[in-house]
Chains A and B, each alone.
Chain A
């Protein structure tokens, strides 16, 4: 929070000569050159997705600015519900899958993480610090480490579940190939970062407020619902955006836990496969890619302010 107030004071002093490292004009020009360079690749994809098929392989996409000849045919092709070059119903079912996977995979971990963060910040008990450090450390565990055992746990076969030696200690959960089988791992993998970021925010809430509520006889559940939840909305929103981008753009979890079940596969995972299969169908690939990109872009640009602020809660002191 202090960053925000400091930011304002530094804005006032921006003309201050002490900040001069490069000339202001030189800085502006350099940043804009990089910004343009950074945008060109995406622009190429965007332009290509509106070009007719024969032209895509005949001339470079930048020709579009010299000889504008645009079409929406590529988009109507991928959104048609008939067979689209190997996809029986076009890309729309996968687009829907992406939403069906992402929305719960954002809501579940945030709810569970906010609860845990409140407990670790305000209901201290012996060992709560150790648990906090343990959770913080788990941010680093590569997801790859967990894939094989989790798949066994989620499996549908008799041999699924957890074994110690030859003893069957836990049955298979029978959720492989279902949406639940993707929501659960996403929730698990999101928790360490979510708890850490939300803990930073919730621990900074005013102590007086919490104590006053306790004195008035409010239970932890009441405090959580009436005080913590409403006050934590900025941090919750920030993490929600982060998690949305992460789940929507994820490939590894999707490939692993859909286990080839077409009916629940998200668009991003399909796209990774199509990049090979549709090698000659650039018009379909680019328009599908753009459809995948546009959703996180909308989320990101409309909520950008929250996103940056929420990340700062964790990384800048």
Chain B
């Protein structure tokens, strides 16, 4: 027990010290800078308020992104220039074909299923009188890490050889329905879809909460006026509610596309990318940190980035429009 604390107390000490130092430095800077008057005070304030963030972003995101772009044209140890070799390999290699196929599957299905289901739930919630507990239960998986989620779902997908008792939920249900359960996570390409279910399970609550708030924000008088004009049920939703929440729907959809592309944890923790389940972001990690090929890994990261660019352009376009209105 004593070695335990002598090992672990210093860590907590480090944490406390880091926080105290951080705020002490900040307080000192604020104190000194607020004494400065006159012409220099404004530029100084800008420097102090914005400087740390800009510095961290340039060193942490912008610089590395540019550097990765450069590395993607270099060989595995980054010594020689190889031109588009890494990209050519990425799009022609046999093993990469499955990775790209899976990535496309993920982008095509998960965002739309998650957001669609979230919208359906948001509409249903709008009709309910008491919603809080059910809503919280559906939102709860959002707080569970993808690693935790992968372990949670192993109890659904678990499979035992014939003759041994099935303890997985899916296997048991299949057996009771009279079919022979299969080894779910080894069956291609079914396993990729089973992993997608984990994502949908985890993120639907998020989509639901955001869309639910958007539906509630639709002004009641518009709804009443349309109802008086004879619109009802599906028609009301199609022509009144949906157009009013459309922009939120697209924002959530875009968020899901980005989350899907960055997705790493579910694949890593469930199958490690084996059995034909790997996706670009997982393969990129394996390439750099397991096979030590920074060139190919960087090329994958760049492809990932290119895939996100349409979402980015759309978001910036939207943001500019919103800002110019308000």
Which residue in B216, B217, B237 is a CB contact (below 8 Å) of A21? B237
Q: What does the 1/0 interface line of A13-26 toward B look like (CB < 8 Å)?
A: 11011111111100
Complex A-B: 14 CB contacts under 8 Å: A18-B226, A21-B233, A31-B121, A39-B137, A104-B22, A119-B49, A123-B42, A137-B312, A142-B261, A146-B65, A188-B60, A191-B53, A297-B140, A301-B143
How far is it, in angstroms, between the C-alpha of A308 and the C-alpha of B67 when the chains are bound? Answer: 37
Which residue in B127, B224, B264 is a CB contact (below 8 Å) of A252? B264
A75 at interface by CB-CB < 8 Å = no
Q: Is A48 within 8 A of B155, CB to CB?
A: yes
Known: A19-B126, A31-B134, A104-B19; 18 extra A-B contacts, CB below 8 A, are: A18-B227, A27-B128, A44-B169, A58-B165, A136-B319, A141-B308, A145-B68, A149-B64, A179-B11, A179-B14, A191-B60, A221-B30, A249-B144, A251-B147, A286-B151, A297-B143, A312-B210, A317-B322
Q: Is A220 within 8 A of B45, CB to CB?
A: yes
B177 at interface by CB-CB < 8 Å = no
Minimal beta-carbon separation of A96 from chain B (angstroms): 5
> How many residue pairs, one in A and one in B, have C-beta atoms under 8 Å apart?
383
If the complex has contacts A7-B216, A24-B128, A219-B34, are A180 and B233 also in contact, measured as CB distance less than 8 A? no
On chain A, the residues within 8 Å of B23 by CB distance are 111
How far is it, in angstroms, between the C-alpha of A251 and the C-alpha of B123 when the chains are bound? Answer: 34
Q: Is A100 within 8 A of B14, CB to CB?
A: yes
Interface of chain A, main secondary structure: helix
Minimal beta-carbon separation of B30 from chain A (angstroms): 5
B219's nearest neighbour on chain A, judged by CB, is A6
If the complex has contacts A146-B61, A191-B57, A285-B151, are A38 and B138 also in contact, measured as CB distance less than 8 A? yes
Q: Is A24 within 8 A of B56, CB to CB?
A: no
A89 at interface by CB-CB < 8 Å = yes
How far is it, in angstroms, between the C-alpha of A315 and the C-alpha of B123 when the chains are bound? Answer: 18
Which residue in B4, B15, B137, B285 is a CB contact (below 8 Å) of A38? B137
Q: Is B213 within 8 A of A308, CB to CB?
A: yes
How far is it, in angstroms, between the C-alpha of A24 and the C-alpha of B195 when the chains are bound? Answer: 33
On chain A, the residues within 8 Å of B169 by CB distance are 40-41, 44, 60, 62
How far is it, in angstroms, between the C-alpha of A293 and the C-alpha of B148 when the chains are bound? Answer: 7
Of A65-73, A231-239, A267-275, which binds chain B? A267-275
How far is it, in angstroms, between the C-alpha of A139 and the C-alpha of B284 when the chains are bound? Answer: 20
The 6 closest A-B pairs by CB, nearest first: A188-B60, A18-B227, A249-B145, A119-B49, A146-B64, A116-B53
Minimal beta-carbon separation of B196 from chain A (angstroms): 15
**Which chain B residues (126-162) contact chain A, with CB distance < 8 Å?**
126-129, 131, 133-148, 150-156
Q: How many residues of A contact B (CB 8 A)?
A: 131
Which residue in A42, A111, A148 is a CB contact (below 8 Å) of B22? A111
- Most chain A CB within a 10 A radius of its CB, from B138, B251, B316: B138
If the complex has contacts A10-B220, A31-B128, A268-B145, are A141 and B268 also in contact, measured as CB distance less than 8 A? no
- Most chain A CB within a 10 A radius of its CB, from B8, B227, B304: B8
How far is it, in angstroms, between the C-alpha of A243 and the C-alpha of B71 when the chains are bound? Answer: 30
On chain B, the residues within 8 Å of A60 by CB distance are 165-169, 172
Q: Is A57 within 8 A of B167, CB to CB?
A: yes
How far is it, in angstroms, between the C-alpha of A311 and the C-alpha of B154 when the chains are bound? Answer: 31
How far is it, in angstroms, between the C-alpha of A87 and the C-alpha of B204 when the chains are bound? Answer: 35
If the complex has contacts A17-B227, A30-B124, A125-B46, are A35 and B59 also in contact, measured as CB distance less than 8 A? no
If the complex has contacts A18-B223, A22-B127, are A195 and B53 also in contact, measured as CB distance less than 8 A? yes
